[in-house]
Amino acid sequence: MRMIDADAVCERCRASGAICTGKDCEIPNMPTLTPPNEWVSVEDELPKLPDYDCCSVMVNTAQKGNPKSRPMIYERAIVRGKRVERWKYCWDRIADELPDYWMPLPTPPTKEM
C-alpha cells in the first residue's frame, strides 16, 4: 500500500472522532497493488527455458545492495558449437553484471480497464 493511501484512511478515522488504537484499524486489511514477493535467488533456480537450442525469456532482475530492478534476458544459444545459457541486457548485450535475484514479468491485463 502506498503511504498516501494509508494517510487518507487515517484522516477519515480522525475526522470521525475515533481514537486509533490499532485494534480496529482497516489499513492492514486493505487490498494493495503490490504483488507478493516472488523474487527467486539465482542460486536456487534459474528461469525455465523451453527445450530448444536457441530460446530466451525476459525476466525482472535485482542485485544485492541495489534498490533498483531491471529487465534482463536469460537465453540459451549455440556459441562456437556449444550450447550455453547466459544473461543479456534487454538491448541484447551480454551482461557483465549478473543478477542475484529474478522474477517473472507480470502478466498483462486480460480486460480493458
pLDDT one-digit tens code per residue, 4-25: 566 666 677 667 666 666 566 6
Report the percentage of the chain scoring pLDDT > 90.
52
Under DSSP, the state recorded for 47 is -
**Domain limits at 71?**
40-104
Query: How many folded domains does the chain comprise?
Result: 2
27 and 73 in a common domain: no
> Residue 1: pLDDT above 50?
no
Task: Give me the residue label for grid cell 494509508.
Answer: 6
**Could you tell me if residue 112 is inside a domain?**
no
C-alpha neighbours within 13 Å on the C-beta side of residue 81: 0
| Interatomic CA distance for residues 10 and 18, integer angstroms | 10
| Overall average pLDDT of the 37-58 stretch | 92
| Interatomic CA distance for residues 109 and 38, integer angstroms | 18
Q: How much helix, strand and coil, in percent to the nearest 5, is found in the chain?
A: 15, 30, 55
99 and 44 in a common domain: yes
65 and 27 in a common domain: no
| Overall average pLDDT of the 32-49 stretch | 83
Higher pLDDT: 12 or 102? It is 102
3-class DSSP assignment, residue 28 = helix
69 and 99 in a common domain: yes
| Strongest mean pLDDT among 16-25, 33-42, 78-87 | 78-87
59 and 13 in a common domain: no
Higher pLDDT: 33 or 91? It is 91
Task: Give me the residue label for grid cell 486480460.
Answer: 110
Contacts of 23 (CB under 8 A, 6+ apart): none
**Could you tell me if residue 109 is inside a domain?**
no
45 and 19 in a common domain: no
